């Protein structure tokens, strides 16, 4: 069957559908799964050829490491040769949830996952459907699902099943529709292998939350200085719509620019988001996708304040606006 003719199986959150999804994963197929962050493009993390299919479908450069999703902290420990005190503390505090821990890999982790690195990124997702898939998958197979965002490399992440279908419906074996993702942006990544532990990617779990959890250990985490990322794939243009993205700190400056566009007859769409940063995060990628679909010359976006998840939104928007 050629790619065009290939039909993506559309599944729901029923016992039979979850069983079908797990069967496909076990036989090395690709299944898009909902998570609380964004939709993931899932494959058996212990199967090299299945993992290779992720790179092909996404057109993701080889060597960009993937996050492994597991059922619980016990399972996470088996994928690390040094699941240290920081990892134990953060995993216990935030899993299941939108936090990814970078730890030393164990021999169970294949090279295709880490791009040959000695570290592995692990997460226990909270979405009910993803949890069911992981639980069922661990009954019959590895219980480890590699799942980057289910979109073409470099483009805007998907937060609904429709987003996934429109980007990759013809490239995947199945998708489970789990509704709109509650968080809406990718997980926070904490590197637990360094001292101090370091946030490599901003997300819903902020530095303050991480440090509150670490208090009993006496360890204080830090965040990476902007632009100096040790997590591959972080520095480049990313999360980018086709139209140019222009960012504004205030509504006034956005409206002034929009007026100029009106005068010069430049087609634009403006996004002013939500006061509540959590709502803004949930809607962000839908807003960018909807704006892009109108094929404007530019998308004008109001930056949220750098509080709570606002910091992560700003990070994604700066990458969306980077030259590409
Ligand atoms: P995602 O594309 O959301 O699945 O996130 C994957 C990102 O996690 C990668 O682009 C890296 O930035 C980071 N990451 C995953 N595994 C590793 C690793 N072993 N070492 C460093 N960064 C990693
Ligand atoms: Mg991605």
The domain limits of the chain are 4-223, 244-321
Whole-structure pTM value: 0.95
**184 burial via Cβ count (<10 Å: 0-12, 13-18, 19+):** buried
pLDDT > 90: percent of the chain: 89
Mean pLDDT of 109-129: 97
For tokens 């292998």, name the residue.
Answer: 193
Mean pLDDT of 109-137: 97
- pLDDT of 314 over the 80 cut: yes
Find the ligand nearest to 37 CA.
1
DSSP summary character for residue 307: S
* Most ligand 1 atoms within 8 A of CB, residue of 79, 121, 184 to mutate: 121
Residues paired with 101 in a beta bridge: 122, 190
Tell me, in angstroms, the distance from the centre of ligand 2 to residue 268's CA. 26
Please tell me the distance from the alpha carbon of residue 220 to that of residue 48, in angstroms, as a whole number: 37
The pLDDT of residue 224: 87
Residue 29 vs residues 26, 32, 50, 54, 71: alpha-carbon distances, Å = 7, 10, 6, 9, 19
DSSP, collapsed to helix, strand or coil, labels residue 245 as strand
- Tokens representing 254? 């956005």
Ligand 1 pocket check for 64: Cβ under 6 Å: yes
For tokens 């074996």, name the residue.
Answer: 173
Buried-state track 212-221, b at ≥16 Cβ within 10 A, e below 16: ebbeeeebeb
Ligand 1 pocket check for 148: Cβ under 6 Å: yes
- Tokens representing 10? 């559309």
Mean pLDDT of 41-61: 97
Band (233; pLDDT cuts 50, 70, 90)? low
The pLDDT of residue 1: 44
Find the ligand nearest to 153 CA.
2
Per residue in 160-198, pLDDT (tens digit) is 999 999 999 999 999 999 999 999 999 999 999 999 999
The protein residue whose alpha carbon is closest to atom 10 in ligand 1 is: 233
Tell me, in angstroms, the distance from the centre of ligand 1 to residue 268's CA. 33
Mean pLDDT of 59-80: 96
The pLDDT of residue 323: 81
Report CA torsion sign: 174, 179, 182, 185: positive
**Torsion angle in degrees (nearest 10) through CA of 204, 59, 1, 8:** 10
Measured from the Cα of 234, ligand 1's closest atom is 12
Ligand 1 pocket check for 150: Cβ under 6 Å: no
Please tell me the distance from the alpha carbon of residue 101 to that of residue 169, in angstroms, as a whole number: 30
Tell me, in angstroms, the distance from the centre of ligand 1 to residue 135's CA. 23
Residue 51 vs residues 69, 113, 157: alpha-carbon distances, Å = 13, 7, 19
Ligand 1 pocket check for 298: Cβ under 6 Å: no
The architecture of the domain spanning 4-223 is Alpha-Beta Complex (3.90)
Q: Closest Cα partner for 150 from 130, 166, 128?
A: 166
């Amino acid at each position: 069957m050629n790619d065009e003719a290939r039909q993506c199986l559309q599944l729901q959150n029923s016992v039979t559908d979850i069983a079908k999804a797990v069967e496909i994963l076990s036989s090395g197929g690709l299944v898009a799964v909902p998570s609380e962050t964004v939709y993931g493009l899932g494959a058996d993390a212990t199967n090299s050829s299945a993992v290779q299919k992720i790179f092909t479908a996404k057109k993701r450069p080889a060597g960009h490491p993937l996050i492994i999703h597991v059922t619980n902290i016990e399972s996470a420990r088996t994928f690390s040769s040094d699941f240290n005190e920081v990892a134990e503390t953060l995993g216990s505090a935030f899993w299941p949830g939108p936090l990814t821990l970078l730890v030393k890999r164990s021999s169970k982790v294949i090279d295709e996952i880490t791009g040959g690195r000695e570290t592995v990124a692990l997460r226990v997702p909270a979405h009910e459907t993803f949890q069911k898939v992981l639980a069922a998958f661990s009954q019959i197979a590895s219980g480890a699902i590699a799942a980057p965002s289910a979109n073409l490399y470099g483009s805007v992440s998907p937060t609904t099943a429709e987003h996934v279908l429109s980007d990759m419906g013809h490239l995947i074996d199945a998708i489970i529709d789990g509704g709109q993702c509650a968080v809406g942006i990718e997980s926070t990544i904490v590197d637990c292998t360094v001292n101090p532990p370091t946030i490599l990617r901003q997300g819903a779990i902020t530095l303050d939350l991480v440090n509150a959890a670490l208090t009993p250990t006496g360890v204080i985490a830090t965040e990476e200085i902007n632009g100096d990322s040790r997590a591959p794939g972080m520095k480049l243009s990313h999360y980018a719509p086709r139209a140019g993205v222009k960012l504004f700190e205030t509504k006034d400056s956005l409206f002034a620019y929009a007026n100029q566009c009106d005068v010069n007859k430049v087609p634009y769409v403006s996004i002013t988001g939500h006061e509540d940063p959590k709502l803004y995060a949930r809607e962000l990628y839908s807003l960018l996708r909807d704006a892009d679909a109108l094929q404007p010359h530019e998308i004008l976006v109001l930056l949220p304040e750098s509080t709570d998840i606002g910091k992560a939104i700003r990070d994604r928007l700066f990458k969306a606006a980077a030259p590409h």
